[in-house]
Structure formats: structure tokens, C-alpha cells
Chains A and B, each alone.
Chain A
């Protein structure tokens, strides 16, 4: 039993999007959708703030926040969306009705539809190794399959700038727990009561 979480150090993100590439390869998410917006389990968004000449530009990485009080699970009619023993919010694809209710309910835009065309593409690119076999709603799993083998999620493993720090929030000696407990890293939108487990240094 762990309580996995992640800290995003926005200052350290170079905007290289290696995490997006690594994630989409490992998890076979629709990289064929040809944009940086729609169907990704993790996104890096370029943000520009202020007016010339005071413009601030930075990159903002996002994933599923693995909320402790996840609205996505609260609305799911079939309990396809559930929280596993390590606090990871997962979807049982066999139970997912594909109603999209969870996409509407998630306040962090973390979910997307894995549609029938995407299944075809998945098979086209990965053949026998294809991992998606039915239409469903998809999102980040903290690479639960990698964790079982003792390796960290592919995004944080790939991150060039060490902007993504993964670990067990319950282990006081872990880097994530230290950053969170000292208040350096803060959750997004805590006022919504979702209790996210992904924290940001901004």
C-alpha cells in the first residue's frame, strides 16, 4: 500500500514533450490524432501571459491528478472507474460503458474517448502487441503496469529537466513527500474538494 503522487516543477519544464512521446508509446494512446491537444494522457501546454513587452512564457505539464475524492468515479454508473489500493484512479475497460459522464465531471480535463477508429490505428501500429481492444474512456494510470515491475511511470522516467518527480506521498523521506509537506508544491484547484495527488511548483 502506497499513496502515489507526482510533483510538477513548472520552472524545470523545457517544453520538449518527451513525456508525451514516451507516454503515448508505452500506453499506445492516439499519437496519430495529430495535435497536441486532444487525446493524450499527459499534455504539455504552452502558456503566454501578459502583454508585450512584459510577456511571460512557460510550459505547463498536466496529467490525471489521481484525486482522493474523484468526481469522475462519483459519476461512473458501472464503477468502471475505481481507486486501487495505491490510491491510483483507474478504469476497468471491460466495464466502461463509454457514456462520457466522467469526461464531463473531471475538472482537470484528464480524460478522452478512445474511439473505434483509434482501436484500428492501435492495431495498425502495434499489431499483436496492441493493448486497447474495445472503445472506452482513457486516462493516465501512473503506468500501473510499470509500477508493478518496480519502475517509475514513463513520463517521469523520460523527463529531461527533472520537472516530473514521482513517488510515495506516505513515505516522509521521498522527494515528493518533502516537497508537498514543506508546502513548496501545491495542488491545482483545491477549492473544488477533489483532493488531487499531483502537486505543482509554480
Chain B
């Protein structure tokens, strides 16, 4: 058996995965705030459009990574919908655009029933985008560290957590009573998500310890990399968890939550990069040159 670190995907794809997940989560959580937390029509419109803008920014990096970026239109030729996660992802992303924009228009025109329907479908697509970023890597049988059901869960939880972080930064700057209320909901939700993420990371690494040479190698690479141990786990997960827990008991501590949010965002980006970076091919002996 030959173990070879993958070199095809790097920063570009990691950036795409991060901003894709962040955009999808922002879209979904922003609409949630408007539909269920009385955040008002402009909050709904702006956060949904912000989510789509972030998603578009992410997509640019996917296009840059193509062998010939000029051929990106072929991405809409989703013939492989039945089996390929890039094709399925394109459908979900297009859904997020279509229903996200319809929602924003309906919110602007104050067509309530239509807005609700479009909003819920857009939320579903937004959540879909977050999960899809993990499923994309998951489909590679040749890289056992990615080929585990834990990865889509990890990426979904992490993407939602970064979405919460971004919303907290926005909400911290708002004064209204509703904003205060939604802020506390998002903060509590983020505490839950970060705890869950720690649990999944622990389970993931423990699973790696138990075997399969390629998975073990990936895990060793991560554990030996300070970007992962200090950067992601300590600064990107544990520190913001403690800060948010503190902030939630002291009601005025929005700046603490703000710092935590920035750390969560940086941590989320590091996680995408590190998971992509630590992908190791497990080739039958003789294949690797």
C-alpha cells in the first residue's frame, strides 16, 4: 500500500468550501431571524442577499480552480445529478439563488404567505449547501480520511457555527429589543454547535487512531500541525466556547461574543483548509510514482 498526500485540491477548494458553507448558513439563519424572531423585513432581505453574495464569492474560487476557468458554464450541465456531488451541489446552490431572491422580493413587496414559502425553501437550500460541502469530499473513495460519514456532519456543524458567528457580529451592532432577543438565541445555538463540533472532532480523531493506515496518517499530520491543534482546536473552538459561555451569563458582554465570533470564523476556514490538506490517497502498492 502506498500513502500519498493529495495535491490536486488546495487553498482554492478550501476557500470555496468555507465561503459556500458560510453563505448557505447565513442565508438560512438570516431568514430564520426574520420569519421566527420578528427581525423585520430589511433584516431578512439584507441577510439573505448577504448570504448569496458570500456564496458567489466562494464559487469564484471553484471556477479559478478549473483547468480552464473559461469553461465554467459547463458546470450548469448537471447531467451527473444522479451520482455526482458537484452536480447535486449545483442544483442546491441554484435553488438557494432562486428561492433566496424570490424570498427577498416577496419580503420587499410584503407578500406574506408567498414570502414564508419561499423563505422555508430557501432555508432548506441554504442548509443543503452547508452539508453538500462535506459530501463533496466524502465521495472520494481513494482518500479514506474523507470517505467517512463524519465529514459531512463536521462540515455542516462548522458551517452553521460560522453562520452564527457572522450573524452575532451583525446583531451586536443593532440596538432593537428583537435584535437582543435573536442575538441570545444565536449565541446559545452557537454554544451548542461548538460543543457538538468538539465532540465530532474527538470522535473523528479517535476513529482515526483505531486504524486504516491512510486515515492514521491523515490524523497524524493534523495532530502534528500547530495550525490544527492550536489554531483550530484551541483558538477556533475552545476559546470561543469559553468566551461565549461567559458572555451569555453576563448580559452586556457583546464585545466578548464579538471576539469569539471572529475566532470561530478563522477556525472554520482553518478547518476546511486542514481537512483538504490532510487528504491522503491509499493506493495499492506499485501505483504511486
Inter-chain contact A105/B286, CB cutoff 8 Å: no
Across the interface, which residues of B come within 8 angstroms of A56, CB to CB? Answer: none
Inter-chain contact A109/B283, CB cutoff 8 Å: yes
A45 to chain B, nearest CB (A): 5
Contacts A75-B84, A77-B75, A98-B66; A105 near B140 (Cβ below 8 A): yes
Across the interface, which residues of B come within 8 angstroms of A60, CB to CB? Answer: 286
Contacts A71-B140, A107-B142; A100 near B286 (Cβ below 8 A): no
Interface secondary structure of A, over-half rule: loop
Inter-chain contact A115/B67, CB cutoff 8 Å: yes
Contact string, A39-63, partner B, CB cutoff 8 A, digits 1/0?
Answer: 0000101010000000000001010
Q: Report the nearest B residue to A109, measured CB to CB.
A: B287
Contact string, B251-281, partner A, CB cutoff 8 A, digits 1/0?
Answer: 0000000000000000000000000000101
B23 to chain A, nearest CB (A): 19
**Which segment, of B39-47, B85-93, B105-113, faces chain A?**
B85-93
Q: Is A85 an interface residue (CB 8 A)?
A: no
Q: Is A76 an interface residue (CB 8 A)?
A: yes
Interface secondary structure of B, over-half rule: loop
Q: Is B139 an interface residue (CB 8 A)?
A: yes
Q: Is B8 an interface residue (CB 8 A)?
A: yes
Inter-chain contact B67/A109, CB cutoff 8 Å: no
Inter-chain contact B287/A97, CB cutoff 8 Å: no
B136 to chain A, nearest CB (A): 8
Quick one: which of B74, B83, B143, B286 contacts A47, CB cutoff 8 A? B286
Which are the 6 A-B pairs with shortest beta-carbon distances?
A98-B67, A135-B68, A107-B142, A77-B86, A77-B87, A189-B284
Inter-chain contact B66/A107, CB cutoff 8 Å: no
Contacts A71-B140, A100-B67, A135-B68; A77 near B80 (Cβ below 8 A): yes
Inter-chain contact A37/B289, CB cutoff 8 Å: yes
Inter-chain contact A108/B287, CB cutoff 8 Å: yes
The A-B contact count (CB < 8 A) is 124
**Cα separation A36 to B289 with both chains bound (whole Å):** 8
**Cα separation A43 to B79 with both chains bound (whole Å):** 32
Counting contact residues on chain A (CB < 8 A from B), the size range is: 35 or more
Inter-chain contact A192/B286, CB cutoff 8 Å: no
Across the interface, which residues of B come within 8 angstroms of A75, CB to CB? Answer: 80, 83-86, 139-140
**Cα separation A108 to B86 with both chains bound (whole Å):** 21
**Cα separation A124 to B140 with both chains bound (whole Å):** 36
Across the interface, which residues of A come within 8 angstroms of B140, CB to CB? Answer: 71, 75, 104-105
Q: Is A180 an interface residue (CB 8 A)?
A: no
Q: Is A14 an interface residue (CB 8 A)?
A: no
Across the interface, which residues of A come within 8 angstroms of B84, CB to CB? Answer: 74-77, 101
Inter-chain contact A104/B80, CB cutoff 8 Å: no
Q: Report the nearest B residue to A100, measured CB to CB.
A: B8
**Cα separation A164 to B86 with both chains bound (whole Å):** 36
B32 to chain A, nearest CB (A): 30
Inter-chain contact B86/A71, CB cutoff 8 Å: no
**Cα separation A104 to B142 with both chains bound (whole Å):** 7
Contacts A76-B84, A79-B80; A137 near B67 (Cβ below 8 A): yes
Quick one: which of B8, B74, B285 contacts A104, CB cutoff 8 A? B8
